[in-house]
Every structure is written in C-alpha cells, then in structure tokens.
Chain A
Amino acid sequence: MTWLLQVVDLHKRYGPGCPACAELTGPRQGRSQCPRCGTVHACVAANFSLQAGEVLGIVGESGSGKSTLLQMVNLSLPADQGQILYQPPESGAAVDLCQMNGYSARHFRNDRLGIVHQRPELGLNMHFSVGGNVAEKLLLAEWRHVGRIRARTSELMRQTELPPERIDDEPHTFSGGMLQRVQIAKALASRPSLLLLDEVTSGLDLSVQARVLDLIRRIQWEEQITMLLVSHDLGVIRQLARRTIVMKNGQIVESGLTDQIMEDPQHPYTQLLVSSAL
C-alpha cells in the first residue's frame, strides 16, 4: 500500500501557550481554550495517513478542529509544529509540505490540491463568470490557450452535471447545489491528486445534498481520486468514507473503519455522536 499523505504530530494553537495548557484542555476537560492563558488549541498532535485513492472522513462537532486540520493540509494555514508528508504518486520520495516557502506552496496547491468549501463564496469569486472561476485554476496551472481553457471548462461542467451553455453566467444566478458543483468543477480542473471537502453539503436541502454526494461518489469512483472529507454529518461520512477520524476539542479521539466507528464506537464522545444520529 502506498500512502499519499501522512500527517505527523501536527499542532495549531492561537496564543502563547503555558505549561498548564496540556492539563487544562482537551476532550477530557471538554474545552480547547486554556482557562489560564487563554490559548486556543485548535489542533493537537494529529496523526494519520491517507492511502492513494481512498476517502478519509473527519467527523466532529463545531469547534473540534476538523476544518483547521483541513486548512493546514491545504497550506492556507501554517502549522505550529509537526509534518505533513506528501508522497508524489510518480516517485517514492516524500516532501514535507510544512517546510515549503510561499512560492512552492502556491505551486503545490495549484498543481496537486483541490478544495471545496462549505460556503461557495469562499471558494469562488462571485464577480467572475462560472467559466472564469474554473479558468482561474487552469491559468494558475499555467494554461494559456483560451480555446483549450473553455473546452476543458465545458468538459468539467458536463462532468459535474452543470449546463455548459451557462459557462458565461455569473455565480449569483446559480442555486446553492449548483454552486457546490461549480466549486467541485474548479477543484478538479487541474486533476489534483488530493481533493479536500469541507462540509460540502451543509446548508443544502436533502434532495440537492443527495445529488452532490452522488456526484462526489461517482467522481471518486471514476477518477480514483484521494479525498479528505470533513463533515459533522455521520450520514455523509458513512456514504463516502471507508475510514473515519473522530475529533473533539482539537484532538483525535478515535479512528477506524467507518463501519466499526458506527457499529462499535469506543470513545464516550463517539458513542454520543453515533447515538445522536438522526
């Protein structure tokens, strides 16, 4: 088995930290903010690996640190400590993403990563046309031929079940579910080796949620793309992820096969989460 991404002892905190932080924060204490120094420990000692072609789910309540973890993997948030090792599919040597300078990080993000945000306005420029948004990613990946960019954009729109004739329409004329699909099209534009999905179906009604999830499942199936999926919804995780990590108060409290997490949860918080599922 080849891993694509390995996260080793990753930390992110907001504040100076104090010697009492470790004692006073975490799932056992039920808080991620240290009452003595006020430091917020958004992510503490995260360790996991991601095999090529698999979907790993990260589940947890609001404020558990799952989006922070995703942002660090997306290189849009610097880690305080730890490593994010990336092993390119074409060679065996791993690269520590945390050690990259800004220029290399931007190149890496454009070449190898795609991200779909919970809110479309975070992932899309609402003043550009839909085609312009997808083209932005291709331009960053050094595409220059306008005809080819439009052809690739149309192809991506078809792939994500968007009408290609609306390539020049502005995003605000699209529905919420369609905007998520535009984000997916943009994320897939440069054929990334890792797709990051941050609460992609939150705020969508049930039938639209189902269509977006089906689309993601189909794309994963066809392209065998590796995905890191963040959600607070166990139903979404169950549908897409075969392995799952459970986070609470900035820490990973449990990880395992998704069916094992659902059927035999070990940690008290995971048991609460599973028993709270609708």
Chain B
Amino acid sequence: MTSSFVGKISLPLAGSAALLVGMGLFALWSHDQEGHQYFQKQVTWVGVGVVALLVMLGPHYRHSRHFAYPIYLALVASLVALLVFARKTNGAQGWFALGPLKVQPAEFVKIGVVLVLARWLAASRHVHTLRGLAAPILLALTPMGLILLQPDFGTAMLFVPVLFAMLYVAGARRKYLLVGLAALLVVTPFAYRFGLKEYQRDRLTSFLWPDKVDKDLSRQQMQSVRACAAGGLAGAESGGYYVSERHTDFVFSIVAEELGFLGTSFVLLLFAVLFVQAGWIAARTREPYGRLLAVGLLVFLAMQVFINIGMAIGVAPITGLTLPFMSYGGSSLVSCMLALGLILNVGARWVPTFSSRDLDPGHVAIREFVPQEKKWL
C-alpha cells in the first residue's frame, strides 16, 4: 500500500462509518450501565472489524473475483448445514456455535451474493435479454430461499432490492425489471398468506395494526417508539423504558432517547454521507465489477438502515435486522466492515478513464488500468 493509495481512500466514507461505530458504542455504553459488558465485547468486535476492513483494503478488489464462487458455494453450503445441524434457538436457527462465538452465516452470505452477482453480471453479455437474467436471479434466490427456511424473513427480504439494483445498474432492460416488480407485487399477498408462519405475519403487521397482534411484539415496538419520542429535541435522561434485545435490534432507540432529534438527525446524516459517498464511488467507477460490487453492498447496507430505523420509530415491520455499524453483535459488525472495506477498495482503485461522457482531461493515467479479462466490454 503506497501512500498515494492511502490518500485515495474516501475519507468522508471511512469517517462517517467510524462515527457511526462510535455512536453505536456510545449507545451500548449508556444502555448497559452495570458493567458495560456489551460495550466491552463490542469494542473487541470493532477491533476484529477494523482488521477485516484492512484485509479487504489490501489487495486489489478485482482479485476477489477469483474467490467469488468458492466463497459463495461455501456460504450456501454453510446455510444448508445450518438447516441440517444447527440447534433450534428462539424458533429460528440462524447461527453456528463456534466455541463461545455464535456466527451467523446469513450476515456473510449477503457479501457472497454480491460478489458472485457482480462477477456474473460483469462478465455476462446477455444482461439485456430475458434469458440472461435467469442465472443471476437463480444465484440470488438460492441463498435467499435457504435463509427463508431458517426462517429469517427479514434478511431474506433484503436480497430482492439488491438483485433489482444490481440488475438495473448492470443494464437489464427496464421493461423486464418492471414486469418482475409487478410479478412480485402480485405474488406477495399469496406468499404472505401461505408462505409465512403465523409469528412472521404478526411481526409484519404489528406496526400496521398494533392492537391485533401479539401483545409482546407490538409492545416492543411501541416501547421503542415511546423511548424515541421521550428523547425529544436534544435527548433525555436514560431509563424507564424497557425494550427487550434493545442493544441489537433497537439500538437506534437508545440514541434517540439519549440524544434526541439532534442525535438521530446526526446519525441519519452520517448514513446519508455514507450512501452518497459509496454511491459516488459506484457511479464514477466505470469498471463494471467494481461498480456492481459497490452498488450491491451499498443496497444491502441501505436497506438494513431503512428497515431497522423504520422499525425503531414504528414505520416498518419488526424483522430482526440489525442497524449497520451500530447494533451490538460480531457477525453484523464484521460483515458491515467487510462490505465497507470492499467499497473503499473499489473507491481507492478508481482510475479516471476517458469516455464520451465524462472526459477528464486532467488525468492520463488510463494506461495503468489493464483489465485481465475483456469480457466485460
């Protein structure tokens, strides 16, 4: 890593992520007044996450192409293994116990799917045809189905927008995407009625009809909303509201209660900066694999942000999705750091290229970029 490479790393992107991690740690610190156990564990995980991020930054991101399929297959295999072996916990079997650690493969499958989709779409010449869409859809739906079986409806749901976004950016025809979207809209009610378990339906509907569903679930969300409201403009003294699993799924409500509207706006601003920066990296990168990588990862992060925050303030269903960079939990944090590392990597390897549209006469470094495969043209 040369100093020029370090200089190319997007500071606003890395900085906003670092501040978000900091906000998350702050929330954990104030949530767990006695002993700060979550805080201490999370600090360790931040360390692991930073290492993971640096590892992701090291080699050129294009090398990841070679690992895309092995990683993808390994993760799909782990999902299958999970369904077969893993013990039942809380009605869902979503993690492997590795000694004292609980590893949630689903968190990493997201990255694996983005890698493999980016690789496929970057190399495919048939994205604009209907047949060309079959393979990427299959690649995305396989792990999604396995995660649905766990059953983890929330995480599985994320794959749909990611797939759409990546197909769209890769150049799929709008006509097909719109038809796909319409088909999805038609299928959804049936899937809702027949594909979901009772408790999953309850979770989804609890924010719409809080009175009709399981008292505990809607209460959890109601408490979260109340805690958020209690924060007011500039935050309030902590305490009083009891939200179960608050340090993981409802970490946003801690910030909202402690720091108020100003604090939550700051968090949203940080996410906005993160999105814009990552989006800008995707936009300016002309190399399709890198661009698709950045887009896919960004959509994963963004969807989780929307759903999680929406859940905390009562406008989205309870799904058990974590808030990127802020929620307590190793798998979640490390996978977010990995994603961030990849996006930063894509950004840092950017070289200005000539094109009819964005001619950048200030740079002539085009010759540095020698693609190994030419399929993507």
Judge: A and B partners, yes or no: no
Binding site for B on A (CB under 8 A): none
